[in-house]
């Protein structure tokens, strides 16, 4: 079994876990602020060995910095605190791994990583496009996070998988820039070729999973992926240069069985293992 809480930040480490318990802009059901704690708790019941990757978590050097202390009513301050934590991580030459929290927390992390790696590309797994210009007049919303990212990164440097919900404008935008791709083997091979040797930020909105296996999320969408599809994606990403990553949008109280939290913890395990490839 693996447990984040026994990983001392003072010890030498290559990957740093940062909890960002914020859900101040969610548009449907709140609760993602409890995601980091639920992932940590569920991790205690998950094996350290990944049979699909044939890799062992106990061989990695990672640490958990705990949850950031955030003022829930001030979005700009939350983003600033998150950005500072990721900046500190990169200054220490460690890979930041954020546990959300809602998807907006990815924005300052990607900004920080982009500043260090100007040829960065972003791979987004998600049920939603998150490409709105604003949501009810608010530009800093989890529904707009990839639009904000594209403004400094460029749409041509983003690839989105699992999208099955969005406005007509969002779909036209994604089609025009070719950001949409699928989990078919040939498309995953093409994705890896497109990445080439460029650094990657991987953002996984856990509502990419079908609600049948992951009901614990604020905005569930029918038609999502299952665990085996995610594992095929992870296997394809095993050789790319991951320099930052996050797992967001677990709302554990919406799944009283606890299965969503366990699935999230297993996702984190697999993501840790592929991120370790570059260190």
Let me know the angle formed at the C-alpha of 143 by 175 and 79, rounded to the nearest 5 degrees. Answer: 120
Give the list of residues 6+ apart from residue 164 with CB closer than 8 angstroms, or none: 127, 221, 222, 223, 224
Q: Please say whether the beta carbons of 7 and 62 come within 8 A.
A: yes
Q: 103: annotated binding-site residue?
A: yes
Q: 14: annotated binding-site residue?
A: no
Q: Please say whether the beta carbons of 114 and 83 come within 8 A.
A: no
DSSP state of 68: P
Q: 126: annotated binding-site residue?
A: yes
Q: 207: annotated binding-site residue?
A: yes
- Token pair of 19 as six digits: 């909890």
From the number of C-beta atoms within 10 Å of its C-beta (0-12, 13-18, 19+), residue 54 rates as exposed
CA–CA separation, 70 and 32 (whole Å): 14
Let me know the angle formed at the C-alpha of 236 by 234 and 20, rounded to the nearest 5 degrees. Answer: 35
Residues at the binding site for Mn(2+) are 103, 126, 128, 130, 205, 207
| Feature table: binding site | 103, 126, 128, 130, 205, 207
């Amino acid at each position: 079994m693996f447990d984040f809480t026994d990983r001392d930040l003072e010890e030498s480490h290559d990957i740093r876990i940062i909890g960002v318990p914020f859900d101040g802009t969610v548009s449907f059901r709140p609760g993602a602020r409890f995601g980091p704690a639920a992932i940590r708790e569920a991790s205690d019941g998950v094996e350290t060995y990944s049979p699909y990757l044939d890799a062992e978590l106990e061989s990695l050097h990672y640490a958990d910095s705990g949850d950031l202390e955030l003022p829930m009513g001030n979005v700009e301050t939350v983003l600033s605190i998150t950005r500072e934590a990721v900046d500190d991580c990169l200054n220490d030459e460690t890979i930041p791994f954020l546990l959300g929290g809602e998807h907006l927390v990815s924005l300052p992390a990607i900004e920080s990583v982009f500043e260090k790696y100007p040829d960065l590309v972003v791979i987004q797994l998600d049920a939603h496009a998150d490409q709105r210009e604003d949501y009810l007049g608010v530009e800093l919303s989890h529904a707009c996070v990839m639009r904000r990212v594209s403004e400094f990164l460029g749409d041509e440097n983003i690839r989105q998988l699992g999208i099955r919900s969005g406005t007509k404008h969002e779909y036209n935008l994604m089609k025009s820039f070719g950001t949409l791709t699928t989990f078919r083997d040939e498309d995953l091979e093409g994705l890896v070729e497109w990445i080439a040797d460029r650094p990657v930020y991987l953002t996984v909105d856990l509502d990419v999973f079908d609600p049948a296996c992951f009901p614990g999320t604020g905005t569930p969408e029918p038609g999502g992926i299952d665990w085996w599809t995610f594992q095929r994606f992870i296997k394809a990403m095993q050789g790319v240069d991951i320099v930052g990553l996050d797992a967001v949008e677990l709302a554990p109280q919406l799944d009283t069985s606890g299965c969503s939290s366990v699935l999230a913890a297993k996702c984190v395990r697999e993501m840790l293992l592929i991120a370790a490839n570059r260190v």
